[in-house]
Amino acid sequence: MFVASTHSYVLFFTNSGRVYWKKVHELPLAGRAARGKAIVNLLTLGPGESLSAFLPVREFVDDRYVVFATAKGIVKKTALMEYSRPRLSGIIAIHLDEHDELIRVALTDGTQQIALSTRHGLLVRFDETEVRPMGRGATGVRGANLRGDDRVVSMEIVEPGASLLTVSENGYGKRTPIDEYRLVHRGAKGVITMNVTDRTGLVVGVLQVSRDDDEIMLVTNAGKMIRLSVGEIRQTGRVAQGVRLVNLGDEAAEQVASVAPVARDEMTSGADSADVESANDVDMADAVDSQELETEESDEV
């Protein structure tokens, strides 16, 4: 979810590593409760192609870069201008290795910091300058050194003074100031961002938040949506398990599937009470779940 001018562009990136290009005014305008139009009717996708990420762009300029992150911990940086002349059938955006997938795409000025988070609760924060600019067809370089079946679940471009909000599949979450994550080199294994246990489940997403009145949306695999204010989630240390954000159903299979920020313009319009559960209906103060089970073990792995 994002806010954009009708004069802006949207770059759509697919699971095959291609990018498609649309102006915002070319997208169908509809009400907040409308279902929208199938993306296959807007873009000329190839057989088996599906969307992996999108990026709103106000204008194509020389001093901006597109940064990619994949599930296998690969990062790539390419000049924005290389994507300014797409074709109807799309153009190559990134070369993806077999069984890898695109997780996130972001726009940077080339001098910022990148934070990669994994589903096993680790985070790698490094300078963007350690990733050299590459061509559209390049694969990229190692951003995070993953172990076993670990996968990258999110990428954030770090802003000074912000916090990172970590959410797990069993409905737990926590906020931690970004300054608690020390800067490391690209390709490191990272430091703990959540104490992942059977109780919390794996990490499903990590978002950067800067204000207490920011809001997020949790979506479960049972179709439940929960809208929360960031200010209701207490700040804790990096190695805490956090607090329960949502009471999942009795079915053991129900889990949090995704988390997304609510665009600020959308926040002012309010949520549809028939479809979205208010944060006031979510138990945020369970006596057991609010304990911060800190660990005294080393947090560097």
Mean pLDDT of 125-142: 96
The domains of the chain, with CATH numbers, are 1-158 (2.120.10.90), 161-290 (2.120.10.90)
Question: Is the torsion defined by CA of 152, 153, 157, 161 positive or negative?
Answer: negative
Phi-psi map region of 45: left, alpha, beta (phi>0 left; psi -120 to 50 alpha): beta
273 has a pLDDT exceeding 50: no
Q: Bigger pLDDT: 79 or 39? A: 79
Q: With a cut of 70, say whether residue 101 has pLDDT above it.
A: yes
Task: Give 19's strand partners.
Answer: 13, 91
**Count of H helices and E strands in the chain?**
1, 19
Residue 189 phi/psi, 5-degree rounding, is -80, -25
**pLDDT for position 2:** 59
* Residue 239 in tokens: 């190695």
Whether the predicted pLDDT of 114 surpasses 90: yes
For residue 84, name the pLDDT band (cuts at 50, 70, 90).
confident
Query: In which element (H, E) is residue 215 found?
Result: strand 215-220
Determine the pLDDT at residue 52: 84
Pull the structure tokens for residue 258. 């995704």
34-43, 89-98, 116-125, 213-222, range with greatest mean pLDDT: 116-125
Separation of alpha carbons 278 and 128, rounded Å: 38
Q: What is the mean pLDDT of residues 242-270?
A: 74
User: What's the pLDDT band for 57 if we cut at 50, 70, 90?
Assistant: confident
Residue 265: pLDDT band with limits 50, 70, 90? low
- Characterize the bridge pairing of strands 91-92 and 18-23: antiparallel
Mean per-residue pLDDT of the chain: 83
Parallel, antiparallel, or unpaired: how do β-strands 113-118 and 74-79 relate? Answer: unpaired
